[in-house]
Chains A and B, each alone.
Chain A
């Protein structure tokens, strides 16, 4: 696969890991946060932790839009969808995420018309093909996905498709990073910056992290060589006492972002005054809602939303794990009441949630006595 395989070249990976070992100061313990859930997933998928020296600790950030969605929002969406002529459409990632009254798949088993879509455009197609039904697209995602939802809404308006609405749960990444840095328990040396969010917002939005907080940020791609190269770049900055934003993912991320994408987002969405994030509480100006000009396609205005607020079970420590304060295994429910098969929180369901990744890799990895070492 072009633009994928070359960034998985084993020889170059060996080189990069050697460089990392050379650059890492043995007297230092580095704490680097990868913000994106996709990076968390990649780190485990490619077994990158085996390649890094012991004194580089990767801490998982809250960049998993499924994980940070409060349960109540799922219940609200599914309540709306439970009428006989409604269709609930969402990405595969959402299907097993538990609400207080069950996950979308569980609702499907109870007769709710739940459909998996790969693209918001597909949800619009379903609406076109089913004029006697009302299709509600349960939208999730950071700025990577919001422009696509926006463009789909613009398309619905242009074509006059009335039986389509969006239940908008789009959130923005910078407030989440701010919440991490504001957390008193968090000591970090640098960030592996979001990869695909940055194709939309560019690299400028992270400059305050370097300037005000003094932490280097390297926006990174998702292949093993991308992540290793980003760590090389972070170590070089840390070694030189620098703190800048650098763009490792240049082949795809434009420094200024994608103007057209930002434009459609601004046309369709506006910032909510505040939004509740699982684990991080209420954060102001951190989430998107649909503008008045698109009110007819806003599920929250067309339907009455119960505004269910569901607290996570008291013993679940999703919030602390999301912030990186606790490792998944330190949550009291981890591996016992909460496993991928019967998840309590989304972090155990979402393929890039830290708990799921940790459960499938680290948790049982401790049993592995032979690990092939690199170099």
Chain B
């Protein structure tokens, strides 16, 4: 199970098994959120993602919305504007048609908001007891946003770490929606397309954008650890600067979870050169939904391949990738 959680085990599965056997290059080195490939002289961006969230509906969204936004976002942070999508549904036998209809409507709304068309799809039904109601996979194709070139190898010491908004909303909302922990809060999933913010940033600061990612499963810590490893440098974060809603903080304190490991579905993190950092930040803040964007850290030389957090009290701690699923603790 931990292979799907987004952290270390997932990475090993990709690097150790999928990449050598499935990828043309044989290595996962150049794997990003979306692949940019050339077909007949034109460059297209291409990606896929699957959604197995449970419960299917939760405050702030549903699986259908996640499926659309998730793929739009993977394309966006690879520096591409989503154009079209295909979808496959794996449905559990006995799923109420009203449930399916609700998700299809949700997807249709999300597509319209994102300006993306659905051009095809497939449906399969499996026996009762499988598929947790519904699994959705989407694959999206888009065109590169001019001026953006996303590559971890271009990251330099002194670059700034930009974050689009508060972390933890989605993961904690899901945890609370599962009802096993009997917690209630006024929290909603942050699922949304980050494309408008990315485009706004690109319009003003494209030459300064080195790298981007949407910190979904495994949270901010996992995404930034991947970056640190890919660029061989150190990502230094200032704890005080990382935005978080009180309710997320309260739930994490109550359950003993680290907010840096909690999934987000409507945020992105960008590494921007110092010359363009303030311009980029400003541009995001002016865009729809970007008002909570901020600079949360910078790139340093040492310690290599590591994410370090400066605590408020002059201490530092090292944050690793997520190991397994975030589990509430009482100790």
Q: Do chains A and B touch in the complex (CB under 8 A)?
A: yes
Task: State whether the Cβ of B314 lies closer than 8 Å to any Cβ in chain A.
Answer: yes
Q: Are A351 and B256 in contact (CB under 8 A)?
A: yes
Q: Are A105 and B314 in contact (CB under 8 A)?
A: no
Given A46-B313, A47-B314, A367-B303, the answer on whether A92 and B9 have CB atoms closer than 8 Å is no
Interface string of A32-55 (1 = CB under 8 A from B): 000001100100111111110000
Q: Are A51 and B315 in contact (CB under 8 A)?
A: yes
Q: How far is the CB of A79 from the nearest CB of chain B, in Å? A: 21
Stretch in B31-39, B124-132, B320-328 with 4+ CB within 8 Å of A: B320-328
CA A55 – CA B189 in complex, angstroms?
Answer: 48
Instruction: Find the residue from A49, A93, A109, A368 having the highest chain B CB count within 10 A.
Output: A368
Q: Are A47 and B331 in contact (CB under 8 A)?
A: no
Q: Are A224 and B318 in contact (CB under 8 A)?
A: no
Task: State whether the Cβ of A174 lies closer than 8 Å to any Cβ in chain B.
Answer: no
Residue in contact with A368 in the complex, picked from B256, B313, B316, CB distance below 8 Å? B316
CA A18 – CA B83 in complex, angstroms?
Answer: 60
List the A residue with the shortest CB-CB distance to B318: A364
Q: Are B180 and A117 in contact (CB under 8 A)?
A: yes
Residue in contact with A372 in the complex, picked from B316, B319, B324, CB distance below 8 Å? B316
Residue in contact with B327 in the complex, picked from A10, A95, A341, A371, CB distance below 8 Å? A95
Q: Are B313 and A8 in contact (CB under 8 A)?
A: yes
Please classify how large the interface on chain B is, using the bins under 10, 10 to 19, 20 to 34, 35 or more: 35 or more
Task: State whether the Cβ of A361 lies closer than 8 Å to any Cβ in chain B.
Answer: yes
Task: State whether the Cβ of A240 lies closer than 8 Å to any Cβ in chain B.
Answer: no
Residue in contact with B250 in the complex, picked from A1, A49, A108, A224, CB distance below 8 Å? A1
Q: Which residues on the B side are within 8 Å of A303 (C-beta)?
A: none
Q: Which residues on the B side are within 8 Å of A93 (C-beta)?
A: 327, 329-331
Q: Are B253 and A4 in contact (CB under 8 A)?
A: yes
Interface string of B299-320 (1 = CB under 8 A from A): 0101110101011111111111
List the A residue with the shortest CB-CB distance to B314: A374
Q: Are B327 and A368 in contact (CB under 8 A)?
A: no
List the B residue with the shortest CB-CB distance to A106: B1
CA A44 – CA B317 in complex, angstroms?
Answer: 7
Q: Are A105 and B1 in contact (CB under 8 A)?
A: yes
Interface string of B250-266 (1 = CB under 8 A from A): 10010110000000000
CA A224 – CA B183 in complex, angstroms?
Answer: 27
A204-228 residues with Cβ-Cβ distance < 8 A to B are: 224
Q: Are B180 and A351 in contact (CB under 8 A)?
A: no
Q: Which residues on the A side are within 8 Å of B306 (C-beta)?
A: 364, 367
Q: Which residues on the B side are within 8 Å of A92 (C-beta)?
A: 255-256, 327-330
Q: How far is the CB of B67 from the nearest CB of chain A, in Å? A: 26
Q: Are A91 and B311 in contact (CB under 8 A)?
A: no
Given A4-B253, A45-B317, A51-B313, the answer on whether A96 and B181 have CB atoms closer than 8 Å is no
List the B residue with the shortest CB-CB distance to A38: B331
Q: Which residues on the B side are within 8 Å of A351 (C-beta)?
A: 256, 329, 331
Interface string of A119-154 (1 = CB under 8 A from B): 100100000000000000000010001000000000
Task: State whether the Cβ of A340 lies closer than 8 Å to any Cβ in chain B.
Answer: yes
Task: State whether the Cβ of A13 lies closer than 8 Å to any Cβ in chain B.
Answer: yes
Task: State whether the Cβ of A352 lies closer than 8 Å to any Cβ in chain B.
Answer: yes
CA A299 – CA B303 in complex, angstroms?
Answer: 50
Q: How far is the CB of B189 from the nearest CB of chain A, in Å? A: 21
List the B residue with the shortest CB-CB distance to A375: B314
Interface string of B65-106 (1 = CB under 8 A from A): 000000000000000000000000000000000000000000
Task: State whether the Cβ of B213 lies closer than 8 Å to any Cβ in chain A.
Answer: no
Task: State whether the Cβ of B186 lies closer than 8 Å to any Cβ in chain A.
Answer: no
Q: How far is the CB of A131 from the nearest CB of chain B, in Å? A: 18
Q: Which residues on the A side are within 8 Å of B255 (C-beta)?
A: 92, 118
Q: How far is the CB of A115 from the nearest CB of chain B, in Å? A: 7
B1-39 residues with Cβ-Cβ distance < 8 A to A are: 1, 8-9
Task: State whether the Cβ of A304 lies closer than 8 Å to any Cβ in chain B.
Answer: no
CA A1 – CA B329 in complex, angstroms?
Answer: 19
CA A51 – CA B315 in complex, angstroms?
Answer: 7
Q: How far is the CB of A373 from the nearest CB of chain B, in Å? A: 7
Q: Which residues on the A side are within 8 Å of B180 (C-beta)?
A: 115-118, 122
Task: State whether the Cβ of A64 lies closer than 8 Å to any Cβ in chain B.
Answer: yes
CA A78 – CA B328 in complex, angstroms?
Answer: 20
Q: Are A368 and B308 in contact (CB under 8 A)?
A: yes
Q: Which residues on the B side are within 8 Å of A373 (C-beta)?
A: 314
Given A96-B324, A96-B327, the answer on whether A341 and B315 have CB atoms closer than 8 Å is no
Q: How far is the CB of B8 from the nearest CB of chain A, in Å? A: 6
Given A1-B249, A47-B311, A115-B180, the answer on whether A361 and B327 have CB atoms closer than 8 Å is no
Task: State whether the Cβ of A369 lies closer than 8 Å to any Cβ in chain B.
Answer: yes
CA A115 – CA B182 in complex, angstroms?
Answer: 14
B268-282 residues with Cβ-Cβ distance < 8 A to A are: none
Residue in contact with B331 in the complex, picked from A65, A116, A361, CB distance below 8 Å? A65
Q: How far is the CB of A69 from the nearest CB of chain B, in Å? A: 12
Q: Which residues on the B side are within 8 Å of A118 (C-beta)?
A: 180-183, 255, 328, 330
Q: Which residues on the B side are within 8 Å of A38 (C-beta)?
A: 331
Q: Are B318 and A365 in contact (CB under 8 A)?
A: yes
Given A65-B331, A118-B330, the answer on whether A369 and B303 have CB atoms closer than 8 Å is yes
| New A-B pairs, 8, CB < 8 Å, besides A51-B314, A105-B1, A367-B302 | A1-B246, A46-B311, A92-B255, A96-B327, A118-B180, A361-B317, A365-B318, A372-B310
A-B contact pairs, 22 of them (CB 8 A): A10-B312, A10-B314, A37-B331, A41-B331, A46-B315, A47-B316, A50-B316, A93-B327, A93-B331, A105-B1, A116-B328, A118-B255, A119-B182, A141-B330, A145-B330, A341-B9, A341-B323, A360-B319, A364-B306, A367-B304, A368-B303, A374-B313
A-to-B contact residues, CB < 8 Å: 1, 4, 8, 10, 13-14, 37-38, 41, 44-51, 64-66, 91-93, 95-96, 105, 108-109, 115-119, 122, 141, 145, 224, 340-341, 350-352, 360-361, 364-365, 367-374
What are the 9 closest A-B residue pairs judged by CB atoms, nearest first?
Answer: A47-B315, A367-B303, A374-B314, A92-B327, A92-B328, A50-B315, A93-B329, A13-B313, A91-B330
